[in-house]
Amino acid sequence: MKLDTKAMRHLTAEDWRVLTACEIGSKNHEVIPTPLIESISKLRGGASRVHKSISALAKVGLIARLKEAKYDGYRLTYGGLDYLALHTYASRKEVYSVGSRIGVGKESDILAVADDRGVQRVLKIHRLGRISFRTVKANRDYLRKRHGGSWMYLSRLAAEKEYAFMRALHDEGFPVPEPIAQSRHTVLMHLVDAFPLRQISAVPDPAALYGELISMILRLARHGLIHGDFNEFNILIKEEKKTEPSAKGKEDAEATTGEEEETLSVTPIVIDFPQMVSMDHQNAEMYFDRDVNCVKRFFERRFHFVSSQPGPFFKDAKKTVGKDGAKRLDAAVEASGFSKKALKDLEAAIREQQATRGEHSGEEYDERLTDEEDEDEDDDDNTEGEDGDADEVNGDNIKADEPEMSKHDPEADPSGIGMKSLSISTET
């Protein structure tokens, strides 16, 4: 789904109250009854003013009426949830302008944004359930069994989990983007000027980089964590040029000529943490081995490098958990408020999607929807705008003629991207 912020400047304070009312009502209703929206929003103009705002919101696809509903009501769309998140960031002066989409993941969109000083940042929007609408259909019964369960609920859980782990890892000194804030299904983070590993064709020292990545897996294990998706799609490579004395100058220190040579060093940055699990997880060994094997396979395929040392192995890594004063970050994140129930809900949804699609989590979603899937999407959505015409409100299809995603991924450098400033009323 493309995020279009044009309508934000036209929304009134009353419209925001009604949109917020829809969000509150969606916690217990898939389709929020219109009288409930009126009751929660409590506008001075009464029902007529609420209906005016409902009409304005439905017209731009922020809420939608469900066909064949048993009662008159509306549901919140991903577009509406996007606007609410941006409204929160704007009111806190964390986001002032929004640029174009600079990356597409299996379950997320990555946008370039900036604050009121022009400092560029990255906004990650989680969109669980958008890989395949067949997956949504397959899981609909499963979702109904949970209180308040929906793809938006799961997307919010994914964002909360990612922010919690990113904050804990950054505070512990791991090479991850610095998180700034989290709102609903989005995470705002600092920009990292780096390239995804999958786009790197050669590195100065493959053995050194391989050793650094394996060491990072083991370091995570010491802190009680397994990334769960540690592969070339979720590792960024930051290039750093260093100037050192030339070999001639080193040989003859007394007769230094001042000649210097530039050397290139690479630093790996890890991203994407919604699937991160504890070393005590029931499937921890499988996740650990998969992370190690993903690195081994990529280095053999891309750089023709094969390590002469076997492993590392889970049983050995398990013995190092909490050793040498390493803080158990899995316990710290749980203590911060991300409950075991939320973890189970999120893990179950991710497993269901992977099983339905027959995918491994290491594969990136950069495919284009087929015509058949487009039809499934339209049929499954089955929603209407205020004028009664069917609208696609869960997300825009990725068009075949759309330019390929930027070579920079989630934390890439979006320099040159035109920013659109937000005009948002912060009145309540």
- Cα 56 to Cα 49: distance, rounded to the nearest angstrom: 11
- Cα 68 to Cα 84: distance, rounded to the nearest angstrom: 27
Helix, strand, coil shares of the chain as percentages rounded to 5? 40, 20, 40
Place of tokens 């050194």: 208
For residue 34, count other CB atoms closer than 10 A to its CB: 18
- Residue 373 CB-density burial (10 A; 0-12 exposed, 13-18 middle, 19+ buried): middle
The tokens of 107 are what? 């379950």
Are 103 and 412 within 8 A, CB to CB? yes
The tokens of 394 are what? 């869960």
For residue 347, count other CB atoms closer than 10 A to its CB: 18
- Please give the positions annotated as active site: 229
The tokens of 212 are what? 């650094």
Q: Which helix H or strand E contains 373, and what residues bound it?
A: helix 371-381
367: CB partners within 8 A, 6+ apart: none
For residue 36, count other CB atoms closer than 10 A to its CB: 16
